[in-house]
Structure formats: C-alpha cells, structure tokens
C-alpha cells in the first residue's frame, strides 16, 4: 500500500494567526507539505510584545515564538522577505513579488493588518512611523538616540504602549488623543482617569480632545498642528490611531472583501480552497484587532483542515489587557453602564485598584479591572459564557462571603470551558494546560510554561494557570518553585555555578543531566549560559561546544534578513592602516559586498557576504575578528588623544589598542564595550561604556557600568590611578570580577546596580591580594583563547563541520 501524497498547504503571512493555525494542525496530525510566505525578515514573533522590546525589558530574540530551527524540525519551507501578490486560482499557485510561484492545494491568508496613517498634510515626512512590526520598533529605537521630543497620536492600547516605551528610552512624550478619555472603546471614564493619572506619574504628557490637522516640518517632522490652532513640537511622530485589515492579496485575486476578507464560520473565503484567519478577515461583519479571537479562529480552521469535527466559529467576546510598567488594566464585554445593567463596583484609592462588573438579567456581560488584573482570565470566561451570578462567584469578585476568595476562584476555574484560551499571547487553552499537567506530571507553573508556552510572554495569565494547577492537583499542590535561569530548571545562576564547582561538571549536557533539567536538551536561554559558566570556571580544561553558542558567535558574523552576513574585522582602538584599508576594499570588491559601513565602535562593517564566502573572506582579510556579535569585548573606542589633539593629556589611542589586544576574544556574561579618552572632554563617550577610561594630568580615571542602549545609564566613577600599569591591573580585576559574578546576558549597567558600587570596590580595590588573584585568573583564561577563525582556516574538516550545523531555512 502506497502512502498518499501530501497536499500542499501555503500560508501567506508568518505572524501569530497563521503560524498558530499551523501549530494546531501539526498537533492534530494534519498531513500537509507546508510552505510559509513571510514579508518580514524574521521568524514568527509575538507582535503584541513589541512594547516590551521598545522599553528595553525584552530583546527581539526574547519575543520570537518559533525560531528558525522550528521550521526545519517540522519540514516547513519558509520564504522570508517575500510578499505574496496574488492567488492564481486557474493554475493553483501563489504569486510572489520576487518571481516565486508556489503551488498549492489549499491556502491560508493570514496577512494581519496595517497601521492606519491619518490622511493629513505631512504624514509622509521622515520621522512619522506606525507601530506594528520590528522595523517600526527599530526606527523608534534609532530615533530615540538622536531626538528628544516625541508625539504619539492615539490614546488607545497601542498608543499608550508606544508612549511608555519611548519614555523608557529617555524621550519627552506627549500622547495626542481625539477623545476626552483614554481607551474610550474599552474603559469607562473612572478607569480612564485612573490610567491617565498613573501614566502622568510615569512621565507621559497628554493632550486630550485634540484633532491633528497637519504634521509640519521640512523633510523631517518638526511638530503637529491642531484644529483649535494649537501646536506641539515633535521630532518623532508615532501613528497609533487604528489598524486596517490587510486585504491586498485577496483583492488582487478577486476574493470577496469588505472591511476585511469575508469568511464564513469555517474561515472559508469566496475562492475554493482558500481560507483567511486573524486580523485580515471579516466574520459576520466584524474584524477583530485583538489576539484572542485569532486563536479561536485558528482552532476552528485547524480542525477543519485536519478532518476533525469542530463547532463553527460564531464570533468572539473581545477583551483588552494593557500591561506596561506599573499599570495593569483589563476590560471585557460591555463596560458602559446602561439602565438595564446591574453593577458591582469596588474602588480603592489607596491601593489604586478599581473593579466593575456589569450584569443583565442576573448574567455577567462585562467587566473592568484596574490595578489588580489577577482575575482577568476567569472574568473573561464568565463574560464569554454570560454566566449567571452565584454566591461563590460574588464571593470571589468581592473577596467576601462564606468560603472566601479562594473558594470562588476555584469555582470559576472549574466552570471554565475546556476550549477557553487562558494564555492570550500564545493561544493556550485550559484543556492544553490540564492535559499537560496530567499527561506529563507537571507540578509548577514554570514546568507548564516550558511544556505549553502559557505565561511565556507577558505573564498576565500566571494567576489563572496557578489556579488551574491547584484545581487539578488538589491536595498534592504546593506553591510554585522559585524561578530558575529558564523554564528547564529551578536553579538560579549562583546555584548552577556552585554545583559545577562542587561536582566537577565539565560539559553542558553533563550539567543538565546531573542537575535534573526538565528538558534534557535544554533551551536557547540555558545552553549558552551553562557554556559560559563552564568556560569561565574551567578555562584550561573546558572543551569548546560550538552547538551551545549562538549561530552569529559560531560564524563570527551576523546573519541579515536576506540570508547574507556582515563581517567586522578588528581595528584596535578604532585605528587602522592604509594597507588594511586596501585589503578591506579588495575583499569587498571581490566578494560583491553591498555596503561598507562605519560602525559606532570605529570599525568597518562589510555587509552582504554570502555564507559560503565567509572562510575565504576571513582568509584574505587576514585580520582578527572584531567579535561584533559575541558576548565578549566588542570595541575599545578612542579619541586621538595626546598624539594629535591640543587638549589631550594622555595617549588614548595607544592605551585603547593595548587594552583591546590584551582582552580580545575573552568571553563575558554579555557584550562588553570600552572607551579611552585622552582628556575629560569625553570625545570617545566613555560615560556610556561598560568600562570607560578618562585621561587627566595626573593619570587616569576609571568609570564602570555605562550603557548607551535601550536601558541608557551613565557610568559611575570607580577610582583614579596614576600609572598605566595600575590602570591595566584594575581593569583586568574589574573584568574578571564581572565575569565571575555576572549573570549570563546581564550587562554591567545591571550588574553594578544589583551588586552595588561599594561592594565591587571592596572586592577589587580594598584587598591587594584578592585583586592580584582576580588578575591571575583572567590571565590564565587569556592564555587559553585564540581567534576561532584561525582554527577554521587551518582545518578543512572543522570548516566543513562548522557549516554543516548552520543551515538557515530557505530564504528568498
């Protein structure tokens, strides 16, 4: 008997809706040959977490839901940087903008939405951006480095998240809103006022009841003008006034559209074998701009495509959750009081909490929570069911009555339907959590996170997940274990380091096995961390584990959105020679390098090198790697100092080159940047470096803990020294102390605040013996390291092996 050939399923869109549907199809055993077409140059990421990237609490890597390897593991062909332009029904192919034609048996359109840009004069000026994707986030981050005044047009969910992120970046931010209340589509006036007051305390300014009529400026925006004649200066304008369903590919294909791509209760469009899901579609006249409905739609579509019986999709009860620093807001269903409503309210001005439940004919139809949103998932379920109010539910809502608060919460969890989505960020249902607890023997929230993804993103659903855990385990439930370095373990950094020392562990796999990792293969957070701790503790004996390093570190080059790489040769102290410049020019021409860019660290970045050309490029450059993407010493930035500058008091160029040559290639907990100034005028910007050195007439002053990134921080003055020898010794001891006590991926700016400057001074400056011991340990580590490309270029087998385990998914 021969196997039936798999049908070809093409997904247009690489976002949460499309990939969430594919995840469900895979779980259900649906047999398809899957191709995904994504317009962005990234794997699937959590768009609703972009505000966390903007404010600096998460990186882009942190919000990736399915990394490149996931597509390979599931035999999914991914075309990034590619836009589908039409579906050719006659020839059964999806047509793309780069000439690619992808055959299909079935198509899912999951193109999401686009930001609505106000059609006012000046909306096309430089400095006007939306806030929908990583590219928008990147533009805002870059603008925050160069400009100070920002305006956010729109006081809804997205606008407020953007505003808080920009404030965290040090910008002066004003939110301009047409209505008199913030989030007027989700909150009543009382909750809106509480929200505004809290955000004002955090530094956001508001102009309410203002209609923008013009964005003025020259090439770049300089400000806004309003209908009432007022003006506001702004060097960055973020449009957050709404979204529009992205229906372009459907319209080009002759598929019926309205406000969105029209679908029926099984997500079918007007074209046979073509479906739509998420923000791009219109169901029963409604387009949903929130995350929970798209998961509900995806569940129905996945079952339909997998041949599993399913109820039709009949629409969603929408809810909204705002979670930015210090502010928690939730809204579901109806929220404005009407004469037919019975209303329960609870206000606490001291704790700044507000709760409002609306009922009609004794059934719960809406809710608002401010300040404490721990009951949000339970209340959303009650609103969705239009549940009848009971004494137990009332006890939970008010915290009163027989049985108390906990009894009411337990009742709400037990009454929650199996298909209720508990984790809106990742589309995890109650049933998925219960099945994981029972099937895998899970006992903690962290284990549930690792297994199902629930709580993985914003963490707002954690209280409900814990309630479900308690409900399933009953008397066997104990409070969740403390947080480890990742969901694979409950051990923190200090415990792991101590166990490696005490037990003499020598490899990443041994650490995970001996210390009882719940995931025996580890994850992208713990494997690099363990590898770093092993290298730091055992520099002489630890064997390099390339598989535990990030791909950019293994290749000493950064993968770009088109699949090519950037190469950054080392330039000690930002100084080079005509001979090296000629080499760079020759190699760039020979290997068709697209752009040569001067970096912020005073080096040259060769952008657009093909992966197969990397060994030859490094060989012909014959220059050390700049480690531009490693957790190591990146650069030592210098001014021209006393060699050339009339103000220079110290030879900063020579000192910078000396330090860079001495400490290059050494692993650190996170990227490490330095700068050396020849005088206090600070032209090399030492005040924003991990270690900054400033020359003066009497010697040098050392600064520590600076950061010019998303969490900007001025460095603290650490000490003053008189000689070059003292400078090198103290810098070496300071680096080693950071290496030995820093958490993996913890920058010195965070490390200084965690340990305290005085305790670091005590360890490095107060005890000569301890300082010399630190220096001895870093010198030992330095003896063990060499540029990995020297090994690769000498060893053909190693070169082939290196490239075998780096197989990016198909990119177009």
Region 532-556: mean pLDDT is: 80
Q: How far apart, in whole angstroms, are the C-alpha atoms of residue 332 and residue 313?
A: 19
Residue with token string 């929408």: 318
Q: Do domains 7-111+245-305 and 128-241 have the same CATH topology?
A: yes
Grade residue 121 by pLDDT with cuts at 50, 70 and 90: very high
pLDDT of residue 444: 81
CA distance 181 to 179: 6
Q: pLDDT tens across 719-729, in order?
A: 999 999 999 99
Lowest mean pLDDT among 240-244, 366-370, 448-452: 448-452
Percent of the chain surpassing pLDDT 90: 47
Question: How far apart, in whole angstroms, are the C-alpha atoms of residue 426 and residue 415?
Answer: 22
Tell whether the model's pLDDT for residue 766 goes beyond 80: yes
For residues 550 and 451, give the distance between their C-alpha atoms in angstroms, rounded to a whole number: 23
**CA distance readout (Å), 566 to 74, 550, 558, 629, 633:** 28, 15, 5, 10, 18
CA distance 631 to 665: 9
At residue 545 the predicted structure's pLDDT band, cuts being 50, 70 and 90, is confident
CB 526 within 8 A of CB 489: yes
Task: Give me the mean pLDDT over the 101-112 stretch.
Answer: 97
Rounded Cα distance, 298 and 88, in Å: 24
Position 562 confidence tier, pLDDT thresholds 50, 70, 90? low
Superfamily of domain 7-111+245-305: FAD/NAD(P)-binding domain (3.50.50.60)
| Beta strands in 38-83, from DSSP E residues, in sequence order | 44-45, 64-66, 77-79
| Structure tokens that stand for 176 in this block | 């301009």
pLDDT per residue as tens digits for the range 376-418: 777 888 888 888 998 878 877 776 654 434 445 555 677 677 8
Q: Which pLDDT band, with edges at 50, 70 and 90, does 563 fall under?
A: low
Query: Measuring CA to CA, which residue among 380, 375, 430 is closest to residue 397?
Result: 375
pLDDT in tens, 566-599: 888 888 888 888 988 999 899 889 998 878 888 7
What is the full DSSP assignment across 80-104? -S--EEEEETTTTEEEETTS-EEE-
**Domain boundaries 128-241, corresponding CATH code:** 3.50.50.60
On the 0-12 / 13-18 / 19+ scale of CB atoms within 10 A, 228 is: exposed
The two three-digit tokens of residue 563, written as one number: 């699949």
Structure tokens at 158: 């997205």
Element (H, E) at 135: helix 134-146
Q: Which of 45-59, 79-93, 117-131, 728-742 has the lowest mean pLDDT?
A: 45-59
Whether residue 808 has pLDDT greater than 50: no
Can you tell me the distance from the alpha carbon of 496 to that of 502, in angstroms, rounded to the nearest whole number? 10
Backbone angles phi, psi at 289, to 5 degrees: -105, 15
Instruction: Give me the residue spans of the domains in the chain.
Output: 7-111+245-305, 128-241, 493-549, 630-786
In the predicted structure, residue 473 carries a pLDDT above the cut 70? yes
**Residue 633 burial (10 A CB sphere; 0-12, 13-18, 19+):** buried
| Residue 573: per-residue pLDDT | 80
Whether domain 630-786 has CATH 3.30.413.10? yes
Average pLDDT over residues 108-117: 93
Distance of CA 450 to the CA centre of its chain: 17
pLDDT score at 56: 73
Query: Which among 99, 90, 131, 111 is positioned nearest to 251, based on CA atoms?
Result: 111
User: Which tokens in the block code for residue 252?
Assistant: 């080009």
Q: Which of 237, 247, 288, 246 is nearest to 271 (CA)?
A: 247
* Element (DSSP H or E) covering residue 191: helix 189-201
The predicted pLDDT at position 550 comes to 67
């Amino acid at each position: 008997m021969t196997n039936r050939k798999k049908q070809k399923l093409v997904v247009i869109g690489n976002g949460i809706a499309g990939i969430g549907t594919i995840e469900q199809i895979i779980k259900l055993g649906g047999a398809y040959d899957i191709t995904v077409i994504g317009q962005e140059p990234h794997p699937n990421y959590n768009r609703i977490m972009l505000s966390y990237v903007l404010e600096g609490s998460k990186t882009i890597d942190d919000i990736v839901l399915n990394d490149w390897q996931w597509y390979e593991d599931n035999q999914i062909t991914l075309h990034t940087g590619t836009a589908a332009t039409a579906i050719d029904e006659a020839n059964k192919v999806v047509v793309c903008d780069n000439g690619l034609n992808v055959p299909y048996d079935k198509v899912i359109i999951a193109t999401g939405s686009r930001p609505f840009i106000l059609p006012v004069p000046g909306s096309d000026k430089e400095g006007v951006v939306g806030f929908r994707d990583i590219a928008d986030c990147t533009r805002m981050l870059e603008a925050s480095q160069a400009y100070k005044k920002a305006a956010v047009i729109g006081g809804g969910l997205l606008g407020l998240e953007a505003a808080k992120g920009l404030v965290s970046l040090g910008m002066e931010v004003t939110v301009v809103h047409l209505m008199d209340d913030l989030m007027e589509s989700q909150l009543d006036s009382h909750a809106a006022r509480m929200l505004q007051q809290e955000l004002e305390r955090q530094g956001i300014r508001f102009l309410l009841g203002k209609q923008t009529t013009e964005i003025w400026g020259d090439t770049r925006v300089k400000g806004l003008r309003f209908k009432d004649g007022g003006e506001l200066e702004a060097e960055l304008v973020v449009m957050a006034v709404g979204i529009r369903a992205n229906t372009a590919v459907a319209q080009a294909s002759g598929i019926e559209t309205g406000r969105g791509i029209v679908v029926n209760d099984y997500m079918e469009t007007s074209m046979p074998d073509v479906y739509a899901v998420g923000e791009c579609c219109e169901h029963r006249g409604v387009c949903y701009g929130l995350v929970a409905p798209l998961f509900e739609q995806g569940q129905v579509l996945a079952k339909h495509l997998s041949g599993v019986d399913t109820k039709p999709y009949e629409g969603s009860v929408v809810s909204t959750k705002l979670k930015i620093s210090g502010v928690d807001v939730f809204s579901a269903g109806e929220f404005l009081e009407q004469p037919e409503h019975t209303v329960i309210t609870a206000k606490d001005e001291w704790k700044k909490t507000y709760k409002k439940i609306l009922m009609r004919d004794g059934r719960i139809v809406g809710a608002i929570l401010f300040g404490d949103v721990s009951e949000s998932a339970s209340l959303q379920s009650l609103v969705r069911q239009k549940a009848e109010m009971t004494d137990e539910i009332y006890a939970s809502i008010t915290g009163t009555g027989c049985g108390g608060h906990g009894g009411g919460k337990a009742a709400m969890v037990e009454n929650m339907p199996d298909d209720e989505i508990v984790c809106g960020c990742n589309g995890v249902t109650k049933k998925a959590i219960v099945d994981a607890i029972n099937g895998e023997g899970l006992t903690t929230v962290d284990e549930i996170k690792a297994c199902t993804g629930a709580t993985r993103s914003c963490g707002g659903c954690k209280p409900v997940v814990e309630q479900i855990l308690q409900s399933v385990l009953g008397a066997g439930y104990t409070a969740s274990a403390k947080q480890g370095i990742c969901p694979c373990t409950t051990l923190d950094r200090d415990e792991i380091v101590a166990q490696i020392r005490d037990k003499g562990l020598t490899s990443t796999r041994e650490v995970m096995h001996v210390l009882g990792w719940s995931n025996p293969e580890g994850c992208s957070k713990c494997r690099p961390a363990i590898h770093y701790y092993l290298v730091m503790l055992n520099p002489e004996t630890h064997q390099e584990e390339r598989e535990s390093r990030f791909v950019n570190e293994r290749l000493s080059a950064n993968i770009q959105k088109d699949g090519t790489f950037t190469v950054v040769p080392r330039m000690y102290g930002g100084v080079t020679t005509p001979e090296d410049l000629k080499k760079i020019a020759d190699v760039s021409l020979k290997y068709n390098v697209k752009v040569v860019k001067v970096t912020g660290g005073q080096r040259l970045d060769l952008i657009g090198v093909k992966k197969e050309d990397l060994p030859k490029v490094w060989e012909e450059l014959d220059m050390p790697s700049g480690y531009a993407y490693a957790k190591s010493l990146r650069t030592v930035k210098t001014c021209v100092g006393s060699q050339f500058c009339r103000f220079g008091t110290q030879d900063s160029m020579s000192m910078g080159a000396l330090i860079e040559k001495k400490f290059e290639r050494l692993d650190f907990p996170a990227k490490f940047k330095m700068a050396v100034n020849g005088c206090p005028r600070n032209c090399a910007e030492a005040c924003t470096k991990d270690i900054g050195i400033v020359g003066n007439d009497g010697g040098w002053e050392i600064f520590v803990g600076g950061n010019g990134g998303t969490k900007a921080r001025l460095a603290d003055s650490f000490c003053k020294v008189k000689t070059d020898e003292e400078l090198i010794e103290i810098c070496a001891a300071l680096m080693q102390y950071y290496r030995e006590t820093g958490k993996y991926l913890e920058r010195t700016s965070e490390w200084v605040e965690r340990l305290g400057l005085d305790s670091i001074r005590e360890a490095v400056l107060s005890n000569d013996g301890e300082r010399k011991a630190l220096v001895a340990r870093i010198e030992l580590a330095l003896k063990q390291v060499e540029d990995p490309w020297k090994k690769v270029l000498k060893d053909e087998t190693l070169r082939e092996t290196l490239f075998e385990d780096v197989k990016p998914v198909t990119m177009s």
